[in-house]
Amino acid sequence: MKRSTKIGIVTSGGDCQGLNAAIRGVGKALFQHIDNVEIFGMYDGYRGLIEGDYKYMEAKDFSGILTQGGTILGTSRQKFIPGKAIVDDAGNDTMPAMLDTYNRLNLDCLVVMGGNGTQKSAKLLMDAGMNIITLPKTIDNDIWGTDTTFGFQSAVDIATNVIDYIHSTASSHSRVFVVELMGRDAGWLTLISGIASGADVVLIPEIPYDMAKIAEAIEWRRKHGSNYTILAVAEGAVSVNDAVLTEDERRAVKESMKHSTISYSIASELESFTGQETRVTVPGHYQRGGPPCPYDRVLATQFGTAAARLILEKKYGYMVGIQGGEIVSVPLVDSASRTKFLPTDHPLIQTARDIGIFFGD
């Protein structure tokens, strides 16, 4: 009797929209094309792999989840030492335990869905001898080798909607509004949401800002009839003063801040510079929640079915991505080795400048 094809699925790191759609894509495609397949969903990311806590998934488990946000398997963040080991809170190497679960289930492949950090840790699993295929999920869109990630467009839609709603209250009260968006150290989410929502100032990590110049831009707008200004600020935005500091020095500055996030510091400084009432809105994890938008449902499904095809072909060690509208397979060794920051010469930055959006430089 022919042995079953056995697959494990892991959703790791921060959640985002489209994870369940991707899980569904993998499962439905495998059940469609393989007569004898067994799929094991690991609970809470790598924790399930470490502790042997998993769910045997039947065909019915992949139905009715396309529109659900979050992940039906749960997720968690797992510490890892880049290029060396995945560790627990005490610093102990967890690889032996993960290998034990992988081998005990006799898995043919582990499908790992995650962001930039997860791609790196998945590479460690591959180096340890596991057959790995990864899918790029993150609202940050910072994974190298793919034009976009699932979850990103849904977050753009939400962030844009937030700023859309800020316009009326900012105008009514003649206020400056600072809207802080996610994205970690990459400016993709803030740039595209800022353009789409008509933000006046966009601050991204890749272009350090000068507070005095931002204040001048706000004053220029006020003199030319604009009684309010909206700033779309990436959570990783840095000033020209902080940009020259070392990583340790930046961490020390952040720890010494009296405000919880960069936006409150920016708002406080702007109010001192301009004398104009300034308010902060931080949508936070709201950007990662709720159902995936139609684009992400389709993209996640494409990624999931592409992963299934790689499994059928026994092509392991790849990340599924999209480049120029085509679904591609990127060697995991490449996608895990770098971060996709927003190039400062990106055409969308020039588009933004052409319509008068100010970047603080």
Helix axis angle, 188-197 relative to 152-173, nearest 10°? 50
> Considering only CA atoms, which of 235, 248, 249 is closest in space to residue 280?
235
286: helix, coil or strand? helix
Strands 109-114, 132-136: pairing is parallel
How far is C-alpha 277 from the chain's CA centre?
Answer: 32
In the chain, the DSSP E strands lie at 5-11, 37-42, 54-57, 80-81, 85-86, 109-114, 132-136, 176-181, 201-203, 229-234, 278-281, 318-323, 326-331
Cβ neighbours for 72, distance < 8 A, ≥ 6 positions apart: 20, 23, 41, 61, 65
CB 348 within 8 A of CB 190: no
**Amino acid at the residue 30:** L
Q: Which of 15, 140, 142, 296 is catalytic?
A: 140
Length of the chain counted residue by residue: 361
> Considering only CA atoms, which of 194, 190, 141 is closest in space to residue 167?
194
Is position 140 annotated as part of the catalytic site?
Answer: yes
List the beta bridge partners of residue 42. Answer: 54
β-sheet with 278-281: strand ranges across: 201-203, 229-234, 176-181, 278-281
Catalytic machinery residues? 140
